[in-house]
Chains A and B, each alone.
Chain A
């Protein structure tokens, strides 16, 4: 649906790079050990006493009890131990590398995981510049990002394979994760801790923009929702604030200020709906509003019966919230 990178082997940031290096070390050493064991096994099989069609097996080696441990065994044990220590060392150095990323001038985001979506609040020293969005993070390329993680209901896990490893979001235990995207692009993330019925449809997209593009995006997100212009949009706004939508969703600059569901102030600027479940196109948006349970059974958004005109108007209004 969305062309996005979701691959541990294709790191796009310093942290993921360190983890990928560790993985390559592991792969190389484990391959080496595996091949060595297989070769030893092949040699042993070749040298094993065998009976031919008309000869008895040569079992003379059994006449002299167990031989002493051969030198080659000691060498194999020694080499294995050294290799394991190398991996241990690599793991320690990877941890150090992950911890050493400079965080000066970092962007702070508070990410809260709900069943089954992500709420993101972009922090700023100046309160009026704080804004909320959902299920999609935009970050500037080359600038470190510190994400404060919190779980709202059950344990979730934040995992964007191309940027960093996993980190759990545990209710009541705030943690942080820091990453940096070094190449512009769209990186897909996924909840990595089973969290219930729609765990699989709990994706998050991290979009790494050039610093200028990011600044433009953030400035846009800080503005309240644009006022409806056409009659349909005005009617859509009326439907939104007077029907069940406003009981859970917020749209900045309107009376809808509930915080139980994704912030919709700039919903039309997002690529997907329902945490990566559907592409954000007008037809799919309408289908989603009409019956969310068809696409994401168990999601907390209920189906609502709207008159066709109201639904079209509502969709027109949501479509203009860029």
Chain B
């Protein structure tokens, strides 16, 4: 079992992008559903258990200047990403939509500017910042002199939907 997870951890998929995109299920922004909850919206992204994908996500987070607004996850002009509060949802599909579509009040729309697989890598990394990705695969160190705790040591924080006006 351990061996199986470590294989997944180090696997490198160099040709994922062309045609093999993860089909986004309905992107639910609200956790409230009429009658019985449909849980198929939770997609298992293989990027979140893969050390290479998470490390690439971390690199791209810097390259595409996400930290220009979100700093290293602590937040600046943009909201913090390492806390438990999510304005537009914490599921991978939610974060994917946030990056690709953009959000009001300043989040640019990166759709078409960043290849699909890279967006998913960034999504996985963003989730690892609050401990939502696999801690055995999350980055253990930074390439830069960043004194914060590595993503692999962050405790998992149960996502909380932000209520407008509360923060």
Instruction: Give the B-binding residues of A (Cβ under 8 A).
Output: 153, 242-244, 246-248, 260, 291, 293-294, 297-298, 300, 302-305
Contact = CB atoms under 8 A, between A and B. Distances in A.
A272 B54 CA distance: 31
A247 B59 CA distance: 14
A248 B17 CA distance: 18
A298 B143 contact: no
B128 to A, nearest CB: 20
A244 B15 contact: no
Given A247-B64, A260-B63, A298-B12, A291 B114 contact: no
B3 interface: no
Interface string B9-25: 00010110111000000
A298 B113 contact: no
Nearest to B59: A300
A303 B118 contact: no
A293 B14 contact: yes
Nearest to A305: B18
Interface in B1-56: 12, 14-15, 17-19
A293 to B, nearest CB: 4
Main secondary structure of the interface of A (DSSP, over half): loop
Contacts of A246: 113
A244 B14 contact: no
A72 B63 CA distance: 69
Contacts of A304: 17, 115
Given A243-B113, A297-B14, A298-B14, 20 more contacts: A242-B112, A243-B112, A244-B113, A244-B114, A247-B63, A247-B64, A247-B114, A260-B63, A291-B18, A293-B14, A293-B15, A294-B15, A300-B59, A302-B17, A302-B115, A302-B117, A303-B15, A303-B17, A303-B115, A304-B17
- Indicate the member of A294, A297, A300, A303 with the most B CB atoms within 10 Å: A303
Contacts of B117: 302
A69 B79 CA distance: 84
Interface string B108-123: 0000111101100000
Contacts of A294: 15
Interface of B: 12, 14-15, 17-19, 59, 63-64, 112-115, 117-118, 143
Contacts of B114: 244, 247
A271 B79 CA distance: 46
Contacts of B19: 305
B143 to A, nearest CB: 7
Given A247-B64, A247-B113, A302 B18 contact: no
A169 to B, nearest CB: 15
A243 B116 CA distance: 12
- Indicate the member of A248, A294, A300 with the most B CB atoms within 10 Å: A300
A153 B143 contact: yes
A293 B20 CA distance: 15
29 contacts: A242-B112, A243-B112, A244-B112, A244-B113, A244-B114, A244-B115, A246-B113, A247-B63, A247-B64, A247-B113, A248-B63, A260-B63, A291-B15, A293-B14, A294-B15, A297-B12, A298-B12, A300-B59, A302-B17, A302-B117, A302-B118, A303-B15, A303-B18, A303-B115, A304-B17, A304-B115, A305-B17, A305-B18, A305-B19
Contacts of A153: 143
Nearest to A292: B14
A298 B14 CA distance: 7
Contacts of A302: 17, 115, 117-118
Contacts of A300: 59
A153 B19 CA distance: 31
Contacts of A247: 63-64, 113-114
A103 B64 CA distance: 40
B141 to A, nearest CB: 13
A243 B114 CA distance: 8
Nearest to B13: A293
A291 B115 CA distance: 12
A303 B18 CA distance: 7
Contacts of A305: 17-19
Contacts of A303: 15, 17-18, 115
